[in-house]
Amino acid sequence: MTVESLAAPVAFSYQRVSSGQQVVGHGLDRQADAAALWCAANGHQLDQQLAFSDRGRSAYSGRHLKGALGHFLELAQFGQLGPSPVLLVEAIDRLSRQEPLDAIETILSGLVGSGVRVITLEDQQEYSRVTIAADASKLLVLVVKIQAAHEFSKRNGMRSKANWAKRYEAIKAGQKDPSPRCRPFWLDWDGAAGDFKSNASTAMVQRCFQLSEQGLGHAAIGRQLTAEGFTNTAGSTVTGATTGLLLKDRRVLGEREITDPDGNTETLQGYFPVIVNLGQFDRCRALATARDTAPGRDRNSMRVRNLFAGVLRCPCGLPLGHRASHGGRYEKLLCQGHLDLRCAEQVGWLNYDEEALLLSFMAQRWDKFFSVKADTRQQRELEGQRLTLRTTLAKQQQQAANAEGNASRLLLDGQLGKDTADMLASTVRKATAAADQTKRQLLKVDAALQALLSKPSGKQMGEQIKTKVKAFLADGRQDPSERQRFNGWLRNLGVRMRLQGRHLSCLSWQEGDRWGEAHVYRAGAGKVVSDETLADMAVLGFSEVDREVRLGEIKAEKQMAAKVGRPRRQAKPVAHSVGMLQGKAVKNAAQVSSPTSSP
C-alpha cells in the first residue's frame, strides 16, 4: 500500500551550494523558489518531508555524493521514492562538476538508470529513459553540459588553489587569520596584538564543560546555562543542540584543522587560546559517548515515530516532539520548548494515542476547511492580476514594436541618424526588458491560478482523506517507509493541529485561514467521538440544555477567534469522556468524571 498525494504527483527538489557565502546570499532559496514555481505550473506537488539540500558541499570533489544527493540516489535505487520520481535541479552543474566520466555515471547510471526523471529548471529540459530514447540529441547536450561544468570548476579551482597556497604558507609560518569565519564565537580579534583574545562568551563555554562533567545531558546543560543568564550568539536561550556542538569543538583546546593545497588535513596546535584543558575535554566526551550508546537508545532515524510531526503543535505554537521508553512500549509527546523553558504553556507530557488521532483526523468535517469561499476570493484576485499583467505586457510589446517601426521607416527614408538610432535602440531594449519581466510575473500568476483550479472540492478532499487514512490504518502503520510517506502526505495537505489546552483530547484544526475545534474522546477500540455537533454530544450523554449551552459557547468563541485572527478557547469545555468501553450509557453529564490527558 502506498500513500499518494491527494491532488498531484510528488516532485523532489535538490539544491546545492558550495560555500557558506552562497547560503547567506540566498542561493538555496533561489533554487527552492524555482522548484516550487515549476510544480505549480506542471501540476506537481513539491515534497516537503525529505530535505535534499547540500550546503557547502562541492560537486567538483564529489563530497555532495556523501550528503543529500547520495541519500536521494540510495532511495531511488532501492525504489523508495516510487516509480519514475521527478527530481528538480536548477542546472546540471548542481548534480555534478566532476570529471565527465564520473559525472555521467552519477547522472545517467545513478539517477536516470534508476528511473528518475531529472528536470533542469534553467532550460526546462527533462533527462529520463523515455526522453533520451526518443531524442538521442539530448544525450549529446547532456554530455556537453557536463564537460562545461567540469571545465568551469577546474579553472576556478586552479585560481582558488593558488590563492589558498599563499594563505596556507602564511598560516604555517605563524601568521593568524583575522577573518570572523575562521575563529570561534568566544574569541575576538585584537588588531593591536595581532592575535585572538577571549570575549564574554568564553565563560559560557567553560561553564558548559563544567556542567557536562557533573553528568548533565545536552538539554539539561542548556536549561541550566539559560537559568544562569547565559544566551546563545543570537541572544536567545541556549539549547541542547548548541551545547552538544560545543562539547565536540576541539577549538576550545586551541586546535585549528587546516587543509593544505593538495587536500591533506592537519591540525595546528596552539593556534587559538586554550580555554578548556585536554583532560576535561576527554572526560566530557567519554560521558557523552556513554549516554549515546546506552541500551535502549533508538538510532533508527528512518522510522517516523510521530506520524503528526510537523503538523501537531503545542498551545504555545512550538512543535510537539515524540519520546518513547521501554522499547517503545510507552509513547509520549512533549513540547520541544519544554526542556529549555521556551514553552510558555508548560503542558508537560502527553500520552501519544496514535490511533485516536488518526480516527479523529479521518472523521473531521473537511468540506468546511477546503470550502470554495476563500478559494473563490483568491481566484478572483489572481484573475485580476492576470488581466492587469496582460494589459501591461501588451503596452510594453507595442512600445517596442513602435520603436522598431519608427527605426525602419526612418531608415527607408534616409533620415535615421546616429543619435536617433541610439535613442530608438535604447527604447526597444528597455521595453523588451520590461516585457520579459512582466512575462515572468504573468507565468507565476498563471501557475498559481492553475494550481488553485486543479484543487479538488471540499467534499472530494474529505472523501480522499478518509480513504487514505483508512487504508493506512489497515496496512501501513508498522511499515517505516509507509510511515514516512504518510507523514509527508500530511505535511503537504497544509492542515495544522494545535492543542487548545493541557489535554490531547482538545484540538483545533487549521487549513489556511480556516479553522475549527473539536474535543476528541475514545469510545472503545477503533472508535472516537467529538462534541462539535448536537449528534456527537447526544452520543456523549449530554442533556438538551447542556448541548444548547455548549453550541452557544462554540459559536461565540469562533466569532471571537475570527476577530483576533486565530482560534482561542475562552472557557473550559463542559464535555466529559464517557465509559463506553464498559458499554454503560451516561445518563447525566454531571455524573461523569473529567477527561483524561489522552484521547
Identify whether the C-beta of residue 163 lies closer than 8 Å to the C-beta of residue 228.
no
Please report where in the chains the cell 565527465 appears, as a residue: 100
Query: Which amino acid does the sequence have at 93?
Result: D
Which tops the pLDDT comparison, 402 or 584? Answer: 402
* pLDDT over 60 (residue 567): no
The per-residue pLDDT for 18 is 65
How do residues 193-204 score in pLDDT, each as one tens digit? 889 999 999 999
Euclidean distance between the first and the last CA atom of the chain, given in angstroms as a whole number: 27
Q: Is-contact 117 87, C-beta < 8 A? A: yes
Bridge partners (DSSP) listed for residue 530: 520
514 or 449, which is more confident: 449
Q: What is the pLDDT of residue 281?
A: 94
Model confidence pLDDT, tens digit, residues 341-360:
778 877 788 878 888 778 77
* Fold agreement between 10-155 and 176-292: no
Give CA separation, 250 vs 154, 273, 277, in Å. Answer: 33, 12, 10
CA atoms within 13 A on the CB side of 203: 7
Give the angle subtended at the CA of 76 by the CAs of 73 and 82, to the nearest 5°.
155
Q: Which value, to the nearest 10 degrees, does the dihedral of the CA atoms of residues 342, 344, 347, 353 take?
A: -70
Is 35 within 8 Å of 121 (Cβ atoms)? yes
Q: Domain limits of the chain?
A: 10-155, 176-292, 307-366+458-599, 372-454
Query: Using an 8 Å Cβ cutoff, are 354 and 385 in contact?
Result: no
pLDDT for 207 beyond 90: yes
Please name the residues in contact with 281: beta carbons below 8 A apart, sequence gap of 6 or more. 209, 250, 252, 253
**Across 146-155, 291-300, 393-402, least confident range:** 291-300
Max mean pLDDT among 197-201, 230-234, 538-542 falls in 197-201
Rg (CA), the chain: 30
Q: Transcribe 503-516 into DSSP letters.
A: STTEEEEEETTEEE
246 or 551: which carries more pLDDT confidence? 246
3-state secondary structure 576-597: CCCCHHHCCCCCCHHHCCCCCC
Query: Is 118 strand, coil or helix?
Result: strand
| pLDDT of 139 above 70 | yes
> What's the CATH superfamily of 10-155?
Resolvase, N-terminal catalytic domain (3.40.50.1390)
Q: Which of 517, 456, 476 is nearest to 358 (CA)?
A: 476
pLDDT in the model for residue 311: 81
pLDDT by residue (tens digit) across 459-512? 777 787 888 888 888 876 778 778 888 887 777 666 777 776 666 666 666 655
- Once rounded to an integer, what is the mean pLDDT over residues 239-263? 88
Whole-number pLDDT of residue 371: 56
pLDDT of residue 582: 29
Q: Is the Cβ–Cβ distance between 487 and 39 less than 8 Å? A: no
Please name the CATH architecture into which domain 176-292 falls. Alpha-Beta Complex (3.90)
- Higher confidence at residue 408 or residue 387? 387
d(CA 444, CA 452): 12
Under a CB-based contact definition with an 8 Å cutoff, are residues 466 and 473 in contact?
no
- pLDDT at 209 exceeding the cut of 70: yes
**Which segments within 61-133 are labelled E, that is strand?**
86-89, 117-120, 125-127
| Residue 393's pLDDT band (cuts 50, 70, 90) | confident
Answer whether 0.85 is exceeded by the pTM. no
Q: What are the tens digits of pLDDT across the range 65-98?
A: 777 888 888 888 877 787 788 999 988 888 888 8
